[in-house]
Structure 1
Amino acid sequence: MKSVLVPRIVFDEFISGFHVIEPSLVLLLGLEFKMKVLRTLIGGLAALGVGVGVSASAAPRWTSKRAAKEAYAPHTIDMPIDHFPESSRYVPHTNATFKQRYFFDSSYYKPGGPVFLYIGGETSGESRFSNLQTGIIQIMMEKFNGLGVILENRYYGESYPFNTSTTDELRFLTTEQTIADNAYFREHATFPGVNASLSGPDVPWIMYGGSLAGAHTAFTMKTYNDKFAGGIGSSATVQALLEYPQWYTPIMKYAPADCVSRIVNIIDKIDNLIWSDNKAGIQAVKEVFGLGSLSSLGDFAMTIAFPIGGPMNYPTNTWQELNWSPLYGSSDFWNFCSNVTNPSPPENISSVDTALAKYTNGEAWTGLGNYANYIKQTLLPMCTSGRIDSTDPGCFSTQNQTYYADVTNSAARSYLYSTCSESGGYQVAPAMGPSLLSRAVQIPYTQQWCTWAFPSGRFNSIPATPALHYYNKYGGWDLQAENLALIDGNTDVWLDLCSHSTIAASGPRISSDRFPSYLIAGAGHHWDSYGIGDVGAEPAYIREAHYWEMRTMGRFLEGWGERVG
C-alpha cells in the first residue's frame, strides 16, 4: 500500500496486462506502488545458483483470454484542479482543470447495466488493465452486464495538473481532492461508443479500490454516499499512523519459523554492536554483506532488509508480492528463506557464521553466511557502477538531498508527498521485542526524505510530521458507510492499517448486512482483486471471497433501485 521515494526509482512498463520492470532502474518504494510495481524483477537472477543455491523468480508473463483485444484507449475528462474554492488550505485557488485519464471496457455492457469504477491509486491507469481483463472488475462486469472503467489518480500516470511537481504545485494532491475527483467523474464521465448516458442519477455505479485506492473508495463512500450504489474497499488502509512497525508482524507470524528466528537473532547481534558503538564490529558485519563502503547505518539496515521488505523501499519481490496465483505472484521470498535456512552450505559460507563470534562473546551468528551470500548474489549485482555508497542506479545510498529536490513529475514523488503530508505509515523497527529490521531505522530516517524532497514553497509547506488528521477524519479503523464492503487478508503486511486491524482500540470488526466485511484467511494484500478468468477454478478461499463480493454487490444494486425508485 505504501511507498516512499529513494534515489533509485524503478520505472515500470505495462504491456498487454502484464508489466516488466527495467532491471537497470532498480528501486521504487512501494503502500502499493509498492505493492504491485515490483512484481517482476531481473530474470537473470534465476541463474544465480551459486554457493547456497540462490535463486529468484519473476512472475510469468501471462496471456489473458482477451489478449488479442487491442489495448484500452485512454480518454480524458477535464477535472477541476481545486474542488474546494472556499478552503483556505488551497490558497491561492485556481479555476483551471487538468486532463485526467480513464480507460473503459464495454464488452459486457447491456442497457441498464451498472458501471464498475476501479480507483487507480498510486500508479498509472495502464497498470490496472488486468482488472478489466481477468480481475475483479471483469468478474463483476460479466456477472451484472456492466461497464468497467479505470480512473487514473491525479498526479499519477499522465494525469498531472502541472508540468512539474514543486511543493506549491503538489498542494492539490490531498485525500479530499482525490475523492472529490471520484464523485465528479461519476457525474460527468462519458463513454464514447456506448449508446447510453451513464452519468445520470438513475444509473448505479459501484466503486472498487485496493490498498490506498481502497481507502479512497471507503472515504468516497463515506463522503459522497448518495452518488454511488456501493463500493468495495480491499485491503483499504483507512487508518493513518506516523510509524508502522506492524508491517513486519504477519511475516513474523506466518513466515517459516526457522527463517524468522535466524534473521531476528542476526538483527539482534547487529543492533547490539550499534548500541555499544562497536565501530570495528559494525564495519566487520557490513563487510560480510559486501556493503563495507555504505556509510549510513540506516541505508545498511534497509538494504539487508530488502528481501523481506525494506522500510517502504525494496528492489526485489518480498512477502508482499506473494500471491495466490502464479500469474501475478513471486516465490522470491520463499527462495530467500530457503537460502537463509539451508542446512548444508559450502564451508566458505558456513564459516562466516563464526567469523564475527569475537564480537558476541564467542556466540556464533547462525545463518549469517547464508543471509549475506543471498544479499551479495541477488542485490549487489544491481549496483552496476560498483559505487555501493552512491545513488547511482541500483546502488544503496539514500543520502542525496539533491536527488530528492528533483521536481520532475513521477509517481514516486507524488506518493512520497502524500506520505509526508497526510498518511504517514513509516516502516520502522518496533520499540520492543524481536525485529526483522534493525532498530537503526526509526522515524527520522524516513522523515529526512520528506525534508529534502519538499522545501517550503511560497504557498505550501509540508508539516514537521504528517498531518494525520486530514486522513483520519473519515473514521480510521472505525469507518463505516452505507453500502460499503470492506475485505482484507489476514497475512497482509498492511492489515493493521485496515478495518480488520489487530491493534484497533475498538477490537475486531464484525460483519453485518448493513456494514459487510470479510477477512480472507491465508490471503495477502488485496488478493481478491486478482482473477484467472474462471472464478470456479480459483482456490476455495479466493473463490468464496469472490462469491461473497458478487452477492454483496447484488444486494447493493437492488438497494440502489429502491433508492432511486
Structure 2
Amino acid sequence: MAAVQLLLLLLLCWEAALCRAFTFVKLYHKKPAEPVDSVPDCWFLQKLDHFNGADSRNWMQRFFVNDSFMQPGGPVFLMIGGEGPANPAWMKYGSWLTFAEKLGALCLMLEHRFYGLSHPTKDMSVENLRYLSSRQALADIAHFQTVMTKQLKLGDRKWVVFGGSYPGSLAAWYRLKYPHLAYAAVASSAPVNAVVNFPEYLEVVQNSLARNHSACPKAMKLASDSILELLQYKENYKKLTEDFRLCKLLQLQSDMDISFFLDSIAEYMMDIVQYNNDNREFEGVKGGNVTIQVVCDIMDNESLGAPYDQFVVVIQTILNALGQKCIDAQYKNFVQEMRDDSWEGPASQGGRQWVYQTCTEFGFFQSTDSDSQPFSGFPLSYHIQQCSDIYGSAFNLSTVTDAVQQTNEYYGGFGIKSSRIIFPNGLIDPWHALGINSNLSSDCFAIQMEDAAHCADMYPERPGEPSVLPMARNFIFQLLTKWLQS
C-alpha cells in the first residue's frame, strides 16, 4: 500500500485513542465473545440525516481495515455491518478474505448506525430511532465510500460490497440504489422481500428437521402440544420451570405471557436449524456442536420417555452447549429491558434497535400461523403487540403493514432489478424463503446450496462441511474475477 494511504488509515484508526473490539451478535440476548486482538477501531465522521440538507449534525461511525492484501489497481471490498456490533474477527477470517488475497483487494468493514459503538444520537428514544433505517444505512455507505475514495486516493478502484442476512439485503440494495458506487455485490442469505407475517420460517424449520429424520417434526409437534396442555393448570408451572430451567417460577397472567414463554423455548430450536453445522467458532459463538442431527437423534430416543421428555433433554442439551444457566421467559422483563433507551441498557447490543426496524420496515414476524410447522402459541398478533408495548400505541398492524409495503415498493422485493449481484442461499436456512432462489438475469445469479445453513458460504472452509460450500465459494470467486476484469 502507498505510504500516504497507509498514514491516512493509521490516523483514522488511532485518532480516537480507542482500540476496542466486540463480537457481532445476531440475537440481542446472547453474550459477546472475547475481543479480537490487534484489530483497531477506526472512526469516520458521518452525517446524521442524509435526507435533510438543512441538518448539519454529525457523529462518529466505527469501521475496520485490513490492507494486507491490497495491490495497485486492486478492488475495494466492503463488508457491511448489520443488526449487532461489528465483529473485527471478520477482518481475519471469512471467505471474502480468501477472495481479497487472490484479487489484491483492500478490505473495509463499516458498522451499521445505532449498533455496536456507532451511536448517532444521545440515546435510543423512539424520537431518535427515526434516524435508524436501511435507507439511512445505505446513505451512510455511500458517503463513507465517497469520502474514503478521496481521502485515500483510491481513484477509480472498483468497490464490491459483501453482507450476510440483513446486511446481505443491504449489499443488494446498495448495488441497486447506488450503481455508480457499488460495482458488484455478494448478498448471502439476503431476505430481500419484506413481509408482515412470516410463518414460512417455521415451515422451513419443519422441512429441515425432516431431512434426515422424517419423524422428527411430528415428535416436536407432540412435545409442543404437551407443553400447551401443561400450561392449562397452574400446578404444572413448577414442573415447566424446572424442566426448561427458567430463571424464575413461571407466571402466566396474559396471552402475551403464554406466547412469550412458548416463543422463548421455540427460538432455541429455530436457532439450531438456522445455523445448522456452521463454522462460526471464529466469531466466538458457542453451541455449534448441537446440530439438527443431534436434536433429532434425541427426539428419536424412546428410552428418554415421551416426546415432551425428549424435548426437555433437547433444550437442556442446548443450554449446556451455550453455557447458559437459565432462560428468562418473563414477558414483563423482556418489555422492560426493551424499553430501556440508554446505550448501556440490557437490549442495547441490538435487540431494541432490530425489533424497531422490524416494526417500521420489514415485519419478518416468525409466527405459528401455519399448520405445516411444529410449534404453537405465538401468532402474528403476538408480534404486533410487542411493537406497541415497546414503542407505543402508534405501532400497530396498520402502520407495520404500510411500512412493509413501502419497503418493497422502494427496493422491489422479489422483483429487484439490477446487475452484478450474487445471491447465495442455504436451503436449510429458513430465511431462504424470502431470498432470491433463481437467476434474475445473465449477470444476477442465485446460488442454491443444498444442506447449507444461514450465511454458510461466508464462513472459512473446514473439513466435513457440506460439499456444496467449496463449489459455491469457487463460483462466487470466478464471477467476481470475471466482473472485475471486464
Measured against the shorter chain, the TM-score band is 0.7 to 0.9
- Rounded Cα–Cα distance in structure 1 between residues aligned with 2:260 and 2:162: 36
Counterpart residue number, 1:516? 445
Residue segments in structure 1 that go unaligned for 5+ positions in a row: 1-14, 21-27, 41-60, 87-92, 310-316, 351-365, 385-392, 501-508, 560-565
Question: How much does 1:520 deviate?
Answer: 1.4
Which of 149, 153, 159 is 1:197 aligned to?
A: 153
- Relative distance call for 1:512 and 1:403 in structure 2 (3 A) is closer
Within the candidate set 239, 264, 287, 2:221 is matched to 264
**Bigger helix fraction:** 2
Q: Are 2:250 and 2:330, in contact at CA under 8 Å, matched by a contact in 1?
A: no
* CA distance 1:76–1:304, change in 2 (3 Å): closer
User: What secondary structure is seen at the aligned counterpart in 1 of 2:444?
Assistant: coil
**1:307 — aligned with what?**
268
8 A contact 1:222–1:480 mirrored in 2: yes
Q: Note the C-alpha offset of 1:279.
A: 4.5
Task: Confirm or deny: 8 A CA contact 1:211 1:235 kept in the other structure.
Answer: yes
CA distance in 1, matches of 2:329, 2:442: 50
Q: Tell me which amino acid in the other structure corresponds to 1:471.
A: T
Cα gap change, 1:490/1:408 in structure 2, threshold over 3 Å: closer, same or farther?
Answer: same
Query: Is structure 2 residue 404 aligned with structure 1 residue 404?
Result: no
State the shift of 1:455 in Å: 3.0
Q: Where in structure 2 are there 5+ consecutive unaligned residues? A: 1-18
SS at match of 1:172: coil
The equivalent of 2:85 in structure 1 is: 124
2:328 alignment partner AA: C
TM-score, with structure 1 as normaliser: 0.70
Aligned to 1:330: 288
CA displacement at 1:153 relative to structure 2: 0.5
Counterpart amino acid of residue 493 in structure 1: P
Match for residue 74 of structure 2?
113
Contact 2:205–2:373 (8 Å) recurs in 1: no
Match of 1:436 among 374, 379, 388: 374
Residue of structure 2 aligned with 1:370, choices 284, 304, 310 = 310
Match of residue 543 from structure 1: 470
| Aligned-pair Cα RMSD in Å | 3.5
How many pairs are equivalent?
444
Letter in 2 for 1:258: A
Counterpart among 164, 172, 175 of residue 221 in structure 1: 175
Instruction: Tell me by how many angstroms 1:456 deviates.
Output: 7.2
Q: How does 1:75-94 map to 2 (within 5 A)?
A: 75-85=42-52, 94=55
For residues 173 and 18 of structure 1, what CA distance do their matches in structure 2 show? 21
Over 3 Å counting, the alpha-carbon distance change for 1:242 and 1:337 in structure 2 is same
Deviations 1:348-369 (A, max 9, x none): xx3xxxxxxxxxxxxxxx3222
Decide whether the 8 Å contact of 1:485 with 1:515 is kept in 2.
yes
Displacement of 1:419 in angstroms is 1.0
Amino acid at match of 2:162: Y
Where does residue 469 of structure 1 map in the other structure? Answer: 405
Alignment of 1:13-412 (within 5 A): 30=27, 71-85=38-52, 94-125=55-86, 127=87, 129-189=88-148, 197-198=153-154, 200=155, 202-255=156-209, 256-268=213-225, 270=227, 273=229, 279=233, 286=240, 289=243, 293-295=250-252, 296-309=257-270, 318-325=272-279, 327=281, 330-333=288-291, 334-345=293-304, 350=305, 366-375=306-315, 394-400=327-333, 401-409=335-343, 410=348, 411-412=350-351
- Name the structure, 1 or 2, with higher relative contact order (CA <8 Å, separation 6+): 1
What's the CA shift string for 1:19-41, capped at 9, x where partnerless? Answer: 59xxxxxxx873xx79xx6798x
Task: Note the C-alpha offset of 1:404.
Answer: 2.8
Cα 1:412–1:383, aligned 2, differ >3 Å: closer, same or farther?
same
In 2, Cα distance between equivalents of 1:524 and 1:224: 29
8 A contact 2:384–2:397 mirrored in 1: no
Task: Name the SS for the 1:162 alignment partner.
Answer: coil
Are the counterparts in 1 of residues 59 and 120 from structure 2 also a CA contact under 8 Å?
Answer: yes
Contact kept, 8 Å, 1:100 with 1:154, in 2: the verdict is: yes
Partners of 1:119 and 1:213 within 8 A in 2: yes
Amino acid at match of 1:436: P
- The answer as to whether partners of 1:511 and 1:518 remain within 8 angstroms in 2 is no
